[in-house]
Chains A and B, each alone.
Chain A
């Protein structure tokens, strides 16, 4: 028989150890899963975690790590602020889409003008789009106490329909021979989100993600606003006692996470994706939730978690191509990671004690 016993205070050691434990457990369970699919588990795990970094074609994959990790980190940083305060924005996917639509829309509006101010304007429009989309659940929550989880999520489906409408209508490439999708921004230098260092994968969105990590770190550890966020999550009544204004906090957290998700969408559409199309969104907004938790809602943790998750994406693609591992298996693998993480998180706050039979 085992029994849980609450620790007098959270264990520091386990706070660092649990993500690693979760990753190891996921590798084992994932290996079993791959075995059931008829693949060699060791080869699969190696393909996913080792080959992108140190394999034969690592020179090609390493930049991809930043390309995929950038948006995940950017979105997850924003989400983590809200999650810390018990404000659950799970519609980042929608904010990501709307940010991309607004940013790309502003860029395409200037086509074919070439000017230095176009890309900065697009960045502002992208952040604004995401912010506006997140303000809908924020204002409804503040004004009517409507559940922000459900509203932000419903808005993902609305945003997806909006995306379809935009690719088929307003933003459709007039020279595209009737095919859905906008002009490709890669062919429009003033609006293209180019790599800062050629060949590194480091586009402006990755730079923004790193800035967001530093900003969030300072906010949470050195600033009263960050303290208010943490306090609200830990003890809402104590936060009100400490003069934290819940309305302002909701608007800030949802607005910030929306703006960052919108930025991620803009950088993606103006860079790696290149155009607005029906299938532009690939689930970064949802995977970022896993990233935020895997990083224990800590900015530096999220940085590592984002890169790790990017690794599973890239490794998953390699495994798909080389070993014929289905794409869904990777999705399942990522879901498992979150499961294990939530389960072992117990060890931070509780001790598992063996109790002898006689005492029962």
Chain B
């Protein structure tokens, strides 16, 4: 149980303009749960991709059981006993569970035998799954089970889990941890990647902390305070946004009985949603990914229409209005997907400023564009929101995730909305950009704007929101004040554990 399984020394990988990993070294023992801790962009993903054979290191060595380990491709890594559960699942929506699992195995048995094996293993680890269901119809938690069982069927020695809890309710997290503890008891090592400190303290035996690609320290999480780990991870004190606590005004947005089918084949339909939003209020909407968050944003932005009176803006029905008609009234939105939805990747920042700003910033006359005005608007966003870019003529795709997100949020904030809806405002964004974005949201609310923040980051919602509600299978819970909510209550609002049970240890 104590032998060294994987030893990593001086791993370095550089991409143009950024060193993703710089001389990273650490060891993982058999049966150990080892945390890889770091902010978004600290180089965690690149590191595990090297272990899994997806990326080749520029220099440095890896040893498995004392022998050199240089996987040329994932197949080789799997053969050596490395299995990985991806953050963005590598699943095939149109195929069924058994087919998905077969694709991840070297020598899968015949389908019928495989299905039987899936049933056995999934029961044993408390992760029940029907092998013949189409994966696209599964919830996020169930999809993760598919990935985990795919790994378990290969008898892995090392299981890599990349941000596994971001798609789970707190109850589901508990069940997952039980499963993982059972695995380590059997001698499997787990490399657990996360930026959530409490989870790591609860689960992991050792932790390696990365910052900007460098190994900045190791610790035993159970003996280290969350605060100390956070300081190692972030490197400097962060300013935490504070709610100005202004009095709430009139009801500006009134959603009553909003139901809408999902535009995508494997999406979630919205079912009878009710909520009232008042001027100056920040409403946090939590929930596990894929429970109707994207659909709610589409319904509010006007990209998908619903019954006219299902959404009322200051008493006027707007459910049938186009995105621009809603913008004219003062209802602005910022979708989750930055590249391709909120912004066009190959177009310049000026053109992207025009994308939503045309109407309220009067960037065109009779349809004819005023490019200098649009350029000035883009420059204003860049300046006021500290977007790091050479200038407004650069393509959106040349910006880092955090900078583009600041641009997207800034574009809406500077249009002085009466209601702003944002989905996952800080997803994949570095800590300082995230803090700036949260502060902008709070400032906006202090000025009397009503804001809806849809997010899977519960800490973020607790920090900015006055009130909280959760989406669960397309339904919205009742809205409750954030003050005094416990994590258990939130978990139950998010739907508890979706048909899971604790592992039979």
Contact = CB atoms under 8 A, between A and B. Distances in A.
Q: Please determine if A and B sit in direct contact within the complex, based on CB atoms under 8 angstroms apart.
A: yes
A242 B355 contact: yes
Interface in A199-240: 222-225, 227, 230-231, 234-235, 237-238, 240
Nearest to B302: A243
A248 to B, nearest CB: 11
A281 B358 CA distance: 44
Contacts of A8: 394-395, 397-398
Nearest to B364: A224
A238 B340 contact: yes
B356 A10 contact: no
A360 B355 CA distance: 42
Nearest to B363: A224
A241 B369 contact: no
A224 B341 contact: no
The residue in B56, B301, B303 that gathers the most chain A C-beta atoms within 10 A of its C-beta is B303
Contacts of B364: 224
B233 interface: no
Given A8-B398, A10-B346, A360-B56, A241 B323 contact: yes
Contacts of B355: 231, 238, 241-242
Contact of B341 (A225, A237, A243): A237
A227 B346 contact: no
Contacts of A238: 340-344, 355
Given A10-B346, A231-B344, A235-B344, A241 B397 contact: no
Interface in B44-59: 56, 58
A241 B342 contact: yes
A22 B333 CA distance: 44
Contacts of A241: 301, 303, 323, 333, 335, 341-342, 355-356
Nearest to B17: A8
B322 interface: yes
A231 B340 CA distance: 10
A245 B323 CA distance: 10
A222 B368 CA distance: 6
Interface string A39-50: 000000000000
Interface in B6-42: 16
27 contacts: A8-B395, A8-B397, A9-B346, A9-B394, A9-B397, A10-B395, A224-B358, A224-B369, A225-B367, A227-B351, A227-B354, A231-B344, A231-B347, A231-B355, A235-B340, A235-B347, A238-B341, A238-B344, A238-B355, A241-B301, A241-B323, A241-B335, A241-B341, A241-B355, A242-B355, A243-B302, A360-B56
B383 interface: no
A111 B391 CA distance: 63
A359 interface: yes
A114 interface: no
Given A8-B395, A243-B302, A222 B344 contact: no
A231 B355 CA distance: 8
A194 to B, nearest CB: 36
A240 B340 CA distance: 11
Interface in B309-343: 322-325, 327, 333, 335, 337, 340-343
A281 B327 CA distance: 49
A235 B324 CA distance: 17
Contacts of A230: 347
Interface in B391-432: 394-395, 397-398
Given A231-B355, A234-B345, A242 B367 contact: no
A353 to B, nearest CB: 9
B323 A9 contact: no
Contacts of B394: 8-9
B367 to A, nearest CB: 5
A349 B342 CA distance: 21
A243 B398 contact: no
Contacts of B337: 237
Contacts of B327: 243
Interface string A316-360: 000000000000000000000000000000000000000000011
Given A9-B397, A242-B356, A245-B322, A223 B367 contact: yes
B382 to A, nearest CB: 16
B39 to A, nearest CB: 22
B187 to A, nearest CB: 35
Nearest to B399: A8
A360 B56 CA distance: 8
Interface in B263-322: 301-303, 322
B346 A224 contact: no
7 closest residue pairs by CB, A with B: A9-B395, A243-B324, A8-B398, A235-B344, A243-B323, A234-B344, A237-B341
A242 B356 CA distance: 6
Contacts of A240: 303, 323
B341 A242 contact: no
A230 B348 CA distance: 12
B323 A5 contact: no
The residue in A225, A234, A238 that gathers the most chain B C-beta atoms within 10 A of its C-beta is A238
Nearest to A235: B344
Given A5-B16, A241-B303, A234 B346 contact: yes
Contacts of B397: 8-9
A224 B346 CA distance: 18
B384 to A, nearest CB: 22
Contacts of A223: 367-369
Nearest to B356: A242
B8 to A, nearest CB: 19
A342 to B, nearest CB: 17
B341 A235 contact: yes
Contact of B56 (A10, A235, A359): A359
Contact of A235 (B16, B58, B345, B358): B345
Nearest to A5: B16
Contacts of B356: 241-242
Contacts of B58: 359
Contacts of B343: 235, 238
Contacts of B368: 222-224
Contacts of A243: 302, 322-325, 327
A238 B301 CA distance: 12
Contacts of A222: 368-369
Interface in B363-378: 364, 367-369
Nearest to B355: A242
A242 B395 contact: no
